[in-house]
């Protein structure tokens, strides 16, 4: 089975497991775990920020960020397809009493012209606009890298307008590798950044919220409130450190493998995909209704040896990751093409 459901499926390699076994640990709630401390310094340094906080998931780092920047009755602005808005149970509302206002992006990117004059005036009828959230790479957008100049421009506008900025960078390192723009350069436009170690980087668990030293006290309080205070979490941090030290450049292989699959899919009659839009490790392709729904397509593909998730009624998502070889990618593309031909009959 070639499993393309998600880049979260990877299992630690033996060297990563060894690094976990060897980790120096301590209670990270009572004290600070030394391996967690090393991870936090390393990720902060990579992003050119002062500090970071290790947490169990990307959902938690995003939600701690929302809570850090907003009070109940505030709102944040975001792109309509983003993870914070669509895939976190509306946690910003459930946990922090915060509202969200969405803007439909072009290729998942919000243009400055859409945001101008959108900050609510200080007025007792209105929510208070506090925060701009962007996502890079954009999952729902098929792993696209946001256009750098547009990110710089919209974040500059946000700051001039008195808003804070947060980046959901669950896959920021995919954007770094694909764009050849450093993590540091992307990060300078944001007050806080979420990073996932458990996606393409290949660690089993964990995310970091990166920002400035002045935010650490509140980040730590909110993390504890949300149940993310972990004890000897150095075992997990050791895996995340290993992933940062070993698995960043190899993301380029995932991108090449995604391109291989995309090339075959784009040449298959009955499937829709623009290869040029596959910039990283995510492929989102359309299935023509006469072939079936995305769910039906995924069921047939799974029976033939390629496992993928339906992403909407007619869209399928496939994700490459460190267990997928170039041979797997070509085989997966060919199986997808064959399944399409069979379903057409």
How many residues bind ligand PLP (CB under 6 A)? The answer is 13
Token representation of residue 236 = 């997990």
Residue 135 within binding range of ligand PLP, rule CB under 6 A:
yes
Considering only residues 63, 108, 109, 139, which one is a binding residue for ligand PLP as defined by CB under 6 A? 139
Considering only residues 168, 191, 253, 254, which one is a binding residue for ligand PLP as defined by CB under 6 A? 168
Q: How far is the CB of 166 from ligand PLP (least distance, A)?
A: 11
Q: Which is nearer to ligand PLP, 266 or 281 (CB)?
A: 281
Question: Are the C-beta atoms of residues 153 and 134 closer than 8 Å to each other?
Answer: no
Q: How many CB atoms are closer than 10 A to CB 179?
A: 18
List Cβ neighbours of 227 (8 Å cut-off, separation of 6 or more): none
Question: Are the C-beta atoms of residues 218 and 68 closer than 8 Å to each other?
Answer: yes
Return the exposure string of 78-91: e unless at least 16 CB atoms fall within 10 Å of the residue's CB, then b.
bbebbbbbeebeeb
List Cβ neighbours of 246 (8 Å cut-off, separation of 6 or more): 15, 16
Q: How far is the CB of 345 from ligand PLP (least distance, A)?
A: 36
Residue 57 within binding range of ligand PLP, rule CB under 6 A:
yes
Q: Which is nearer to ligand PLP, 209 or 339 (CB)?
A: 209
Residue 69 within binding range of ligand PLP, rule CB under 6 A:
no
Q: Which is nearer to ligand PLP, 291 or 316 (CB)?
A: 316
Residue 108 within binding range of ligand PLP, rule CB under 6 A:
no
Residue 257 within binding range of ligand PLP, rule CB under 6 A:
no
> Which among 51-59, 152-160, 234-242, 309-317 is the span making contact with ligand PLP, rule CB under 6 A?
51-59
What is the C-alpha separation between 152 and 204, in angstroms, rounded?
Answer: 32
Site for ligand PLP in 212-231 (CB under 6 A): none
In which order are the strands placed within the sheet that holds 309-310?
A: 271-272, 282-287, 315-319, 309-310
Q: Which is nearer to ligand PLP, 76 or 333 (CB)?
A: 76
Residue numbers at the binding site for ligand PLP (CB under 6 A): 57-59, 62, 83, 135, 139, 168, 170, 196, 198-199, 207
């Amino acid at each position: 089975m070639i499993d393309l459901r998600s880049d979260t499926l990877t299992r630690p390699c033996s060297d990563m497991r060894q690094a976990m076994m060897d980790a120096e640990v301590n209670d990270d709630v009572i004290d600070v775990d030394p391996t967690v401390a090393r991870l936090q310094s390393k990720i902060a340094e990579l992003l050119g920020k002062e500090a970071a906080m290790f947490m169990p998931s990307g959902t938690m780092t995003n939600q701690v960020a929302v809570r850090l920047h907003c009070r109940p009755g505030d709102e944040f602005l975001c792109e309509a397809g983003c993870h914070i808005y669509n895939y976190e149970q509306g946690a910003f509302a459930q946990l922090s009493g915060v509202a969200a206002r969405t803007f439909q992006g072009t290729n998942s990117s919000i243009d400055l012209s859409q945001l101008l004059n959108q900050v609510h005036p200080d007025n007792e009828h209105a929510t208070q606009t506090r925060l701009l959230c962007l996502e890079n790479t954009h999952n729902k957008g098929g792993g696209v890298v946001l256009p750098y100049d547009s990110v710089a421009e919209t974040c500059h506008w946000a700051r001039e307008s008195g808003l804070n900025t947060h980046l959901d960078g669950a896959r920021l390192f995919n954007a770094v590798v694909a764009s050849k723009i450093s993590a540091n350069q992307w990060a300078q436009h944001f007050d806080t950044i979420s990073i996932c170690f458990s996606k393409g980087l290949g660690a089993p668990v964990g995310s970091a919220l990166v920002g400035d030293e002045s935010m650490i006290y509140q980040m730590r309080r909110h993390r504890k409130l949300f149940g993310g205070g972990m004890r000897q979490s150095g075992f997990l941090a050791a895996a995340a450190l290993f992933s940062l030290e070993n698995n960043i450049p190899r993301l380029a292989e995932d991108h090449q493998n995604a391109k291989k699959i995309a090339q075959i899919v784009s040449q298959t009659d009955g499937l829709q995909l623009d290869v040029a839009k596959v910039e990283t490790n995510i492929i989102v392709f359309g299935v023509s209704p006469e072939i079936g729904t995305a769910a039906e397509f995924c069921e047939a593909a799974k029976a033939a040896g390629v496992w993928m998730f339906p992403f909407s009624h007619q869209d399928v998502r496939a994700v490459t990751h460190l267990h997928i070889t170039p041979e797997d990618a070509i085989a997966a593309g060919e199986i997808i093409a064959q399944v399409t031909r069979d379903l057409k009959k």
